[in-house]
A = this chain, B = another copy of it.
Amino acid sequence: MKAIISVPLPQAAYDIVVAPAGLDHLGAWLAAAEPPLLKSGQKVLVVSNPTVFRHYGQRVLDSLQQAGYRVSHCVLPAGERYKTLRSVQKIYDAALAHRLERGSAMVALGGGVIGDMTGFAAATWLRGIAVVQVPTSLLAMVDAAIGGKTGVNHPQGKNLIGAFHQPRLVVIDPEVLKTLPAREFRAAMAEIIKYGVIWDGELFEGLEAAQRLDQVRYLPPELLQLILQRSCQAKADVVAQDEKEAGLRAILNYGHTIGHAIESLMQYRGINHGEAVAIGMVAAAAIATQLGWWDQAEADRQHQLLVKAALPTQIPAGLASDDIVALLSTDKKVQDGRVRFVLPKGIGQADTTDAVSEPLIRSVLAAMAA
């Protein structure tokens, strides 16, 4: 079961490899391509967090060393609150200590936080060196690791500082998901359901046919492989058509407008990104049905999938609609002062609009109170 998904970007085409035991082949895949994705003898800095590094660090280092690379590593604290310029500075310090050169590479071994920070460090070290993404969380596999968005948080806003920097290769090893906490697995299902809604109706129906979606151990390996492939393909399709988020790529933000506001107001505590996105998808679906963009029956099917994945569908207790609405105006997706929403028009189809009125947002949020 090895699948290769191509991301055909004109300046920076690359492959996503989805394969069990992929960790052990990383070095060989980098070296064996013709021409090699990374020249033999080059330096590679592996960036990870303590838990992931303990589980998988040595296998990745071994794989790279056996392929002839000069390997070093840098372990950063885990968690969204460490996704800061300060952590990136630690990567810079490691890059300097190991004398990374323009032909060197960084490998991001971890979830979205490690991937975003390592990508940003690679984008900005010597004005850009290669980065390889090895996502170990389901969320990073189907989202953050693909598409070249990198960055860190500003104390007052998520992902305000960043750069576009496409990876040289993405390696996805489904087997590492067995050590992923169940809650993180469920959170990622929000993004996977999102791909079903905005892009891939067959993926959506595949998820509907699954027995359970709340824990990885209930998914047959074939289904997991299929979900990974189709989700990566959806993201790759969209990114390939709109690398720099000029238009189409905005649909990937389905559920994120209100989702970001919620996780920001909760200061990223007690809720994770996927859970916030799930709530945002419910809100966007309600807006879409109110505007006549989407059938209620299809919105209900989305709701059922989110429930099957044991994801939240209500505004967390204690959050005021006023605060959410106020925060929307600071979102990156604001253009000319108007908030942009991504709304579904069918299963597998979505579009953006900035014509959502504030009263409508308020009424939808009020109806979703816990």
Contacts and interface: CB of A to CB of B under 8 A. Distances in A.
Contact of A332 (B102, B156, B334): B102
A139 interface: no
A52 to B, nearest CB: 25
Contact of A161 (B101, B102, B125): B125
A92 interface: yes
A96 interface: yes
B335 A161 contact: no
A85 to B, nearest CB: 6
A163 interface: yes
Contacts of A332: 102, 126
Given A124-B163, A126-B160, A151-B127, A335 B101 contact: yes
Contacts of A201: none
A96 B163 contact: no
A163 B127 contact: yes
Given A162-B127, A163-B128, A164-B128, A96 B335 contact: no
Contacts of A128: 163-164, 244
Interface in A114-152: 120, 123-128, 149-151
B160 A92 contact: yes
A330 B156 CA distance: 36
Contacts of A126: 160, 162, 332
A336 interface: yes
Given A101-B336, A123-B163, A124-B162, 19 more contacts: A41-B336, A85-B89, A95-B160, A96-B154, A96-B156, A96-B157, A96-B160, A99-B329, A101-B335, A101-B337, A103-B335, A103-B336, A120-B124, A124-B161, A124-B163, A126-B160, A126-B332, A127-B159, A127-B163
The 6 closest A-B pairs by CB, nearest first: A127-B162, A126-B332, A124-B161, A124-B163, A101-B334, A96-B156
13 contacts: A41-B336, A85-B89, A95-B160, A96-B156, A96-B160, A99-B329, A102-B332, A102-B335, A125-B161, A126-B160, A127-B159, A127-B164, A128-B163
